[in-house]
Structure 1
Amino acid sequence: MSDVARVIVGVSGSLHSLTALHRAAEEARARGAVLVPVLAWTPVGGERNYRARPCPSLLRAWQQAAGARLGGALEEAFGGLPIGVPMEPMVMRGEPAEVLTALADRPGDLLVISTGRQGLVRGTAHRLLRGSVRRRCLNRARCGVLVVPPSTLHADLRALHRDGVDLRELVAA
């Protein structure tokens, strides 16, 4: 099965990752490839803290929560599974960049990632310490990488939010 084309996409459930997921589904459909949405997770507090105080029942709970988050993201993006695209969703333990680049290891693979959550304080501090997932994927990938910018809808939603518009009222109208 190693000669089957794959489009691997990092999914977190954020609006940015859902945009990348849609684009990855389009790419998979166009290439006749398998769509591999991947949600990478680490134990709460990080691997180092978990190794210091392991708790298998918590580990199982975190794994199940990650699986539910991936299922929720697929439901939000497609209302379930996208029609006409073979899919192999994966939940993998590890840092996102490391998991994605290890998985996207074939020359014919395409790794699809979003630009990420730019401008957030936590994101900024994390990027200073570790570098962005995007940058690490671009530096380490052994296949093609497609970086998907935010949808123009993201800017529209932010503008409405800044203006104090209640989106529930717009939907109800």
Structure 2
Amino acid sequence: MNVIQDEERGPMDGPGGRRIVAGVSGSLGSLTALHRATAEARVTGAELWAVLAWEPPGGDIAHRGGPCPAPMAAWRRLADERLLSALEGAFGSAGPDVPLKCVVVRGKPGDALLAVAGQTDDLLVVGAGARGRLRRAVWPSVARYCVARACCPVLAVPPSPLHHALDAVHRRNAWKLPLDTRKLAD
């Protein structure tokens, strides 16, 4: 799989047909959304664009005075590896059975996804994780941002019920509480 960097693509790059643009971060929610986007691409015959947004550590403000090219290249390479790792985790080494384009964009996730899914016939697919008030205050929702500002249809995919069970197991492990594995089989 080839990864396209944000400077390498034009705004209308790709075929004239419909594109399914999926935001990928490597989280369980984004992988669920990626599988749903793949299913949509399969049904409609569209091309799947897997998009990962990245920012330099400290954000762009820290690097406005002229960042050193070596760290920037290393961070870009890490973003490429993160996207490829997420795709391999989602589909294995065989990849999805639909045409796939991998895109890595430097910028905030919401802005990057909207820039790539800029055509009215695109479909933007994002994970819509379960969020409480505290999480919304600290980490704004990319899904909400995209739904409010997109010029194309947006599909916000809720988390799988298995995510809740997995989160409960992680919490029990973090607090070093005993785990009853019989409850996992239900």
TM range (shorter): 0.7 to 0.9
Please identify, of 56-65 and 100-109, the stretch whose mean Cα deviation from structure 2 is larger.
Answer: 100-109
* 3-state SS in 2 of match to 1:40: strand
Query: Who is 2:3 aligned against?
Result: none
State the alpha-carbon separation in 2 of the partners of residues 81 and 50 from structure 1. Answer: 38
- 8 A Cα contact 1:74 1:81, kept in partner: no
* Greater helix share, structure number: 1
Alpha-carbon separation, structure 2, partners of 1:162 and 1:83: 32
Q: Does 1:44 align with 2:57?
A: yes
**Partner-residue secondary structure (3-state), 2:30:** helix
Change (3 A) 1:76 1:5: same
Q: Indicate the residue corresponding to 2:159 in structure 1.
A: 150
In the TM superposition, 1:118-137 aligns within 5 A as 118-119=131-132, 124-127=137-140, 132-137=141-146
Distance 1:144 1:82, change over 3 A: same
Deviations 1:43-84, CA, capped at 9 Å, x for gaps: 110001111351111100000000000000001000035342
Distance (whole Å) between structure 1 residues aligned to residue 130 and residue 55 of structure 2: 18
Over 3 Å counting, the alpha-carbon distance change for 1:122 and 1:41 in structure 2 is: farther
Q: Which amino acid aligns with 1:34?
A: E
Matched, 1:34 2:44: no
| Residues 9-44 of structure 1 deviation map (CA, whole Å, 9 limit, x = unaligned) | 100001111111111111110110101000000111
TM-score normalised according to structure 2 size: 0.80
8 Å CA contact 1:7, 1:27 repeated in 2: yes
Moved more, 112-121 or 98-107: 112-121
Number of residue-to-residue matches in the alignment:
164
TM-score relative to the length of structure 1: 0.85
In structure 2, stretches of 5+ residues that fail to align are 1-13, 173-177
> Which 10-residue stretch deviates more, 40-49 or 77-86?
77-86
Q: Deviations over 1:124-166 (max 9, x none)?
A: 3232xxxx21121111111110000001110121233345439
> How much is the aligned-residue C-alpha RMSD, in angstroms?
2.2
Q: How far, CA to CA, are the matches of 2:93 and 2:103 in structure 1?
A: 15
Conservation of the 8 A alpha-carbon contact between 1:7 and 1:36: yes
Q: 1:92 aligns with which of 81, 105, 122?
A: 105
Q: How far apart in 1 are the matches of 2:92 and 2:180?
A: 24
- Work out the CA distance in 1 between the residues paired with 2:84 and 2:179: 30
Please, which moves more after superposition, 133-142 or 6-15? 133-142
1:13-92 map, 5 Å: 13-52=26-65, 54-92=67-105
Rounded Cα–Cα distance in structure 2 between residues aligned with 1:16 and 1:120? 18
Closer, same or farther: CA 122–63 of 1 in aligned 2, 3 Å: farther
Look up the SS of the partner of 1:77 in the other structure. helix
